[in-house]
Amino acid sequence: MVTTPHRPSSRTRGPARAGGSSSVAPPPLLRRIWAWIEGSAASSTSYFLVLGCTLALTVIGLVMVLSSSSVENIGTRAGSYDLFIKQGIFACGGIALMFIVSRFRPHQLKALAWPALGLAIILLLLVFTPLGKEVGGNRNWIEIGGQTAQPSEAAKLALCLWSAAVLERKARLVGKLQHSLVPVVFPGGAVVVALILLGRDLGTSLVIMLILAVALFLAGTRLTYFAIAGGVAVVGVVILALASGNRNTRILAWLGQNCDAPSDPCYQSDHGMYALASGGWWGVGLGQSRQKWSYIPEAENDFIFTILGEELGLLGALLVLALFAGLAVGMFRVARRADSLFVRICTGTIMAWIIGQAFVNIAMVTGLLPVIGIPLPFISYGGSALTLVLLAMGVVLSFAREERRAILARTGQPPAPTPADPTAKPTGATS
């Protein structure tokens, strides 16, 4: 294991004052913010920041799924609350699993890396069996007993764990090209990306490639290799986009094609923009969206952020952005303050996955990027996606607990259980 020297001054003290004089002006605001992000002495800050933002985003997601899906299910046998109830069940199960996983130690999670990747590949292969199901032109689902799941979501978390475990063992060798590529890119990442592309899901493939790129960057791969790989990736994505009639049509629609009929390719995007524009500062009111009345197809999925902006306004949209920013800060703190390379890489890749996917989704529904079918983490409807994202947050919380243990050990204090720990002992007991 490769470790980095501990810098006690950045973790146990606030920003130093020049010369120790009380007359010296305080540092600028941005410098103070960075000092808090990088080196706050509060041992539980990262844990509660990640936990709080995760729970808040999950609750907002449940509310928006209820609001955006209920009108389309009025009069159906399932009832108006069908999708909300299903999402609520997955949310409760995912939160329970999140707290269970948060009790794991890093070495236990590392031991699960190879089995997790193997299971993810098996699930991806099942997509091409009779269990596979095609949705929206993409064959990336499996259906068992009437229940559907998306194996590519499991592949994201599996690759985060697996790439971190492999690159930690090869830390001193990643400067060489062959050790940067094998086995993280070839065959590991390449197999996963190929299976997802065979299902015609370019959006998820881009997220997987982002995870691999961040893992290699955090491991210390040379920037020259990134420049070459980036050029090859851009060419490959362009070829894949132009080779598909559906993707080509979406790109043309994004470039300015006029759409009037519901069958037009930019109809969904245009009405998403109408929803955001009509929300104003305060929104039209929770549950009062007009665009969700079948103007935006399946509004509870990829375009749920537009319904949120219409009903809760600019302030509601900014609240969601602030929660994602807080989540990013919490994960950055965990990665920055970790002594283990495995923890740094795994946390960094999970951060790239969730924050990167949120950025692409919001850019997509606001017209900054073409529509590529990427859901908004925590908010969009989807049981398997929500469960796996909450599991990933459990992994980060596990690392945050480890950070807290390390800080308390350095200060000579016993590591008491966190308040969220269901097995917490009375005050004064040691763990």
Q: Sign (positive/negative) of CA torsion 407, 410, 413, 417? A: positive
Distance between first and last Cα of the chain:
26
pLDDT digits (tens, 9 = 90+) for 9-42: 444 333 344 444 444 555 677 777 766 666 555 5
Give the pLDDT of residue 258. 61
Q: What is the pLDDT of residue 136?
A: 75
The whole-number pLDDT of residue 30 equals 75
Q: Is the peptide bond before 187 cis (omega within 30 degrees of 0)?
A: yes
Q: Rounded distance, CA 371 to CA 298, Å?
A: 14
Give the number of residues written for the chain: 431
Contacts 24+ apart (CB under 8 A), 330-335: 330/45, 330/46, 330/49, 330/50, 330/53, 330/396, 330/400, 331/50, 331/355, 331/396, 332/37, 333/37, 333/38, 333/40, 333/45, 333/46, 333/49, 334/46, 334/50, 334/396, 334/399, 334/400, 334/403, 335/218
Which helix (H) or strand (E) element contains residue 368? none
Supply the pLDDT for residue 259: 63
Residues 173-190 have pLDDT tens digits of: 887 888 888 899 989 999
Classify burial at 157, counting beta carbons within 10 Å of its beta carbon; exposed 0-12, middle 13-18, buried 19 or more. Answer: buried
The pLDDT of residue 363:
93
Residue with tokens 């609750």: 59
What pLDDT was estimated at residue 25?
Answer: 53
Both structure tokens of 417:
């259980």
Residues of the chain with pLDDT under 70: 1-27, 34-43, 75, 244-245, 256-265, 412-431
Residue 193 CA to residue 209 CA, distance in Å, equals 8
Read off the pLDDT of residues 340-362 as tens digits, 9 standing for 90 and up.
999 999 999 999 999 999 999 99
Instruction: Record the tokens describing residue 319, joined without a space.
Output: 């609240």
pLDDT value for 228: 85
The model carries a pTM of: 0.85
